[in-house]
Chains A and B, each alone.
Chain A
Amino acid sequence: MNDRTQVLAATRPPAVKRDSGQRRFSLSHILLEGRAFFALLVIIATFSFLSPNYFTGANFLTMASHVAIFGLPAIGMLLVILNGGIDLSVGSTLGLAGVFAGFLMQGVNLEALGVVLYLPVWAVAILTLAMGALVGLVNGVLIAIFRVPAFVATLGTLYVARGVALLMTNGLTYNKLSGSPALGNTGFEWLGFNRLFNIPVGVLVLIAVALACGFLLSRTAFGRWLYASGGNERAADLSGVPVKRVKVTVYVLSGICAALAGLVLSSQLTSAGPTAGTTYELTAIAAVVIGGAALTGGRGNVRGTLLGALVIGFLSDGLVIIGVSAYWQTVFTGAVIVLAVLLNTLQYGRRSK
């Protein structure tokens, strides 16, 4: 009896392994299940061979901090995809969050009181995350309560959020994000620029969010509700799962993740442009899919998504290091995504006999 696996199942790649009849094919099996992991090993090995600069601690940390930017929205996206939905607005939310933070850092001119309000950095961060949550809430309410298809609702939010970011800056970029000691609002660059124990803070943020999310999925009632309503919403509903609340929550969490990524990115760049994060929603979806999640909902986990994000990040950075043109990077990334979906079909298709 391996009952322990059943509670941990949520954190594992989905369940071909449970089919006892397929155990004999264990090698192809392990390769298929751990495909994102093996792909990552192949990528690291290949580029290490091609360039001496690739396999160095410094490079790994640089690449990891790139991964953090789309890894964060990818984790939010994972929650949405587990629910059987899609969130196309994360890239725009990411951009809007950066601009919103930049706007607050410039000082808010309260004309009625005749003062300019300079908020401390922690307050800016919290307000920005709240803004991300609000965008997610709009998505969630549209989808869960008003039954707008997720694709359409978040496509709308994609445009609106991007438009608002452009309006706020008039198309320009906020460059002065460092604050000044006189106003007591320094330290914005901490999230992206600084290191703790020699690890970029952005990467630590990603790890913390991933751990929290993994815990949420595998060890809480909410996680179980999410897997159930993504797997079969009608059955979950009849079992007393608050399916609408779960749905709204995943979009809110996705919005918060996107806003967090926006903070990290504008902090890394010490500037906030209204076009930041364009098409990141697609990178996030790609990471989730490469990580083995099913777009139909109910299947997937944080570990897979992180590996997916690492595959995309390490591949494109590797191509930059060995001097392959940016156009080819796009082609390679696309090919990896299609390959991943192909393997997903293989894995889930085999089970439905």
Chain B
Amino acid sequence: MMQASLTSSDNFRDDVVLAARDISKIYGSTHALKGVNFEIRRGQVTTLFGENGAGKSTLMKVLSGVITPSSGEILLDGQPVTFSSSAQAREHGISIIHQELNLAPNMNVRDNIFVGREIMGAAGVDFAEEERLTRQLMAELEEEIDPLTPVEELRLGQQQIVEIARALSVNARILIMDEPTSALSAAEVEVLFKIIHDLTSRGVAIVYISHHLEEALEITDRAVVLRDGAMTASASRDEIDLQWIVRHMVGEHFDLGAPPEGYSFGEVALNVESLSVPGPGGHMAVEDLSLAVRAGEIVCIYGLMGAGRTELMECIAGKLRAGRGRVQLLGEDVSDYSIARRIESGLALVPEDRQRDGLVQTMSVGENLSLASIGEFVRRLILSPGRERQLVNDSIRNVTVKTEGGAAAIGSLSGGNQQKVVIGKILATRPKVILLDEPSRGIDIGAKAEVFRLLAENARKGLAVVYSTSEVGECLSVAHRIIVMSKGRISAVFDSSVSKERIMAASGESVAA
């Protein structure tokens, strides 16, 4: 199959390789897809835009054989095909990189890449050959990842690279990438885009999904927009811009807000003094870092993957032990407090990975919302259902969670609403200082705007807010002050009038263009 694509000339470049005709998918009473028509052309990047729940992932799962459509057909090179599994789709040259990582953390990089299609030699698996190919892939991806490193020892961004390497290793001619950059740093994204260019010039068709609109615009040849399971627009790159996409995605103009004004900051709420946090490899993840945040102030921490943002936040929240230094909350030294006691004192963290650290999937929306403030509705060790219901209903209203009610299963919510539940859970503890590690990761632009609006609203009421991000655009939203971290230290501090380029330069990113 690879052979065919390699010999393809420019005449074939715009051929439609895969087409979806009138695809519908019905789950129970929800129509996830309503008669979608979709084409993928050889040697082009087709980007699929749409909010969470618009049906992007469902459409991709249909195309890659993970699920079968309720009606409609898929044409591969003009011939109708049906896939009963993703393995079957892979045989036809369709490979998908899922949004969630699908790696075995206990196995090394080489074994993860070749799992299920081991290269057999005379004496069993030919590990040497697999290792050589893995090294070659990593060299192509410009990543210094040793093939024998266990995946669990890699950073999230590096794990994403492994996932991409695995998809590349099967010689796909149609490659679907669902949010491939959500865990990558700007430098890693650049490498990925270079790879995408290489692939398209070899005739591989790429389907790209991202919430990062500007980034996606950079590489796309064609844009398709989905809204509520239906296709709302489709056009080639030269006909579109950011406003066009957003207009078709949400139907109205959106921005991420501005720093709240018209009030003065209060006392120093959070004071971090020369904090050091040891990292996994013996080096310091955070080194001698000091930071003071006043009540009502919103501080954004920007940095690349591995800059130490997560470690800093987890240490302030009490999850990681500090090597050195102190954390003070409203003048009170909380360095030796447990997580529970810090929450009680008014310092709480919204973690980066909401599935792993934020939500309890076996509990309802309401039970998740009230989890961190059980003390509020316990009388003599016994829960008061009435007071809990009130707390849950207040939270649902405050953070505007779209749900049937507190009893709904947490899994029934979209990513953005799940994130609001995690934030609502922390806000219900009535914190003085709230830390949010990448609060916008993997949520759509509408939910993003709402999250930032929530932060601005609470800051106005006197909450000190610290959030981290790896998207420069998000630094320039509600933050009063932007702190750039690099290699565990603060490399620059800006106010909200700074340009994106200066922020990126301070983080150690190379700025293209």
Contacts and interface: CB of A to CB of B under 8 A. Distances in A.
Interface stretch (B119-127, B221-229, B233-241, B357-365): B357-365
Contacts of B344: 240
A7 B359 CA distance: 17
B30 interface: yes
A225 B364 contact: no
Given A3-B405, A242-B340, A235 B359 contact: yes
Nearest to A225: B374
A21 B28 contact: yes
Contact of B367 (A9, A24, A299): A9
Contact of A3 (B361, B362, B366): B366
B351 to A, nearest CB: 6
A238 B351 contact: yes
A7 B385 contact: yes
Contacts of B363: 9, 227-228, 231, 298
A221 B362 contact: no
B367 A234 contact: no
A241 interface: yes
Contacts of B411: 351-352
A322 interface: no
A220 B377 CA distance: 10
Among A2, A222, A228, A240, residue most surrounded by chain B Cβ atoms (within 10 Å): A240
A235 B360 contact: yes
B59 to A, nearest CB: 16
Contacts of A6: 364-367, 388-389, 392, 405-407
A7 B393 CA distance: 13
A219 interface: yes
Contacts of A240: 339-340, 342-344, 348, 372, 429
Contact of A18 (B27, B389, B407, B425): B407
Which range holds the interface residue count of chain A? 35 or more
A219 B382 contact: yes
Contacts, number: 136
A230 B361 CA distance: 10
A22 B317 CA distance: 40
Among B357, B389, B404, residue most surrounded by chain A Cβ atoms (within 10 Å): B357
B1 interface: no
A298 B412 CA distance: 18
A260 to B, nearest CB: 22
Contact of A230 (B30, B362, B367, B425): B362
Contact of B28 (A22, A224, A232): A22
Contact of A238 (B319, B382, B388): B319
A228 B405 contact: no
B407 A238 contact: no
A146 to B, nearest CB: 18
B410 to A, nearest CB: 10
B349 A238 contact: yes
Nearest to B350: A238
A135 B27 CA distance: 49
B472 interface: no
B358 A235 contact: yes
A65 B361 CA distance: 38
Contacts of B406: 3, 6
Contacts of A18: 364, 407-409, 412
Nearest to B408: A18
A149 to B, nearest CB: 15
B283 interface: no
A7 B383 contact: yes
Interface string A1-22: 1111111110000110011111
Interface string B295-327: 000000000000000000000010100000000
Interface string A204-227: 000000000000000111111101
Contacts of A22: 28
Given A18-B407, A21-B27, A238 B339 contact: yes
Given A3-B389, A219-B382, A231 B409 contact: no
B350 to A, nearest CB: 9
Contacts of B349: 238
Interface in B363-421: 363-367, 371-372, 374-375, 378, 381-383, 385, 388-389, 392-393, 404-409, 411-412
A231 B364 contact: no
Contacts of B389: 3-4, 6-7
Contact of B29 (A9, A20, A232): A20
B356 interface: yes
Nearest to A5: B407
Contacts of B383: 7, 219-221, 223-224
Given A1-B405, A9-B367, A19-B412, A220 B358 contact: no
Contacts of A353: 27
Nearest to A3: B389
Contacts of A219: 382-383
A235 B356 CA distance: 7
Nearest to B372: A239
Nearest to A348: B362
Contact of A19 (B28, B348, B364): B28
A5 B404 CA distance: 13
Contact of B360 (A7, A9, A14, A227): A227
Contact of B359 (A14, A230, A232, A294): A232
B371 A224 contact: yes
A3 B366 CA distance: 9
A32 interface: no
A228 B425 CA distance: 13
Contacts of A5: 407
A3 B429 CA distance: 21
Contacts of B357: 232, 234-235, 238
Nearest to A223: B383
Given A227-B363, A227-B367, A239-B371, A220 B382 contact: yes
Given A20-B28, A21-B28, A221-B378, A232 B412 contact: no
Contacts of A21: 27-30
A69 to B, nearest CB: 30
A227 B371 CA distance: 10
Contact of A239 (B361, B405, B425): B425
A319 interface: no
A316 B325 CA distance: 64
Contacts of B366: 3, 6
Nearest to B340: A240
A220 B362 contact: no
B330 to A, nearest CB: 18
A238 B375 contact: no
B172 to A, nearest CB: 25
A227 B412 contact: no
Contacts of A15: 364, 409
A237 B319 contact: yes
A7 B375 contact: no
A142 interface: no
Nearest to A22: B28
Top 3 closest pairs, chain A to chain B, by CB: A21-B28, A298-B362, A231-B362
Given A6-B365, A7-B389, A240-B342, 5 more contacts: A3-B407, A20-B28, A238-B358, A297-B362, A299-B362
17 contacts: A2-B405, A3-B392, A9-B367, A18-B407, A20-B28, A219-B382, A219-B383, A221-B374, A221-B383, A224-B371, A235-B360, A236-B360, A238-B358, A239-B372, A240-B339, A241-B340, A298-B361
Interface of B: 27-30, 317, 319, 338-340, 342-344, 348-349, 351, 356-367, 371-372, 374-375, 378, 381-383, 385, 388-389, 392-393, 404-409, 411-412, 425, 429
Interface of A: 1-9, 14-15, 18-22, 24, 219-225, 227-228, 230-232, 234-242, 294, 297-299, 351-353
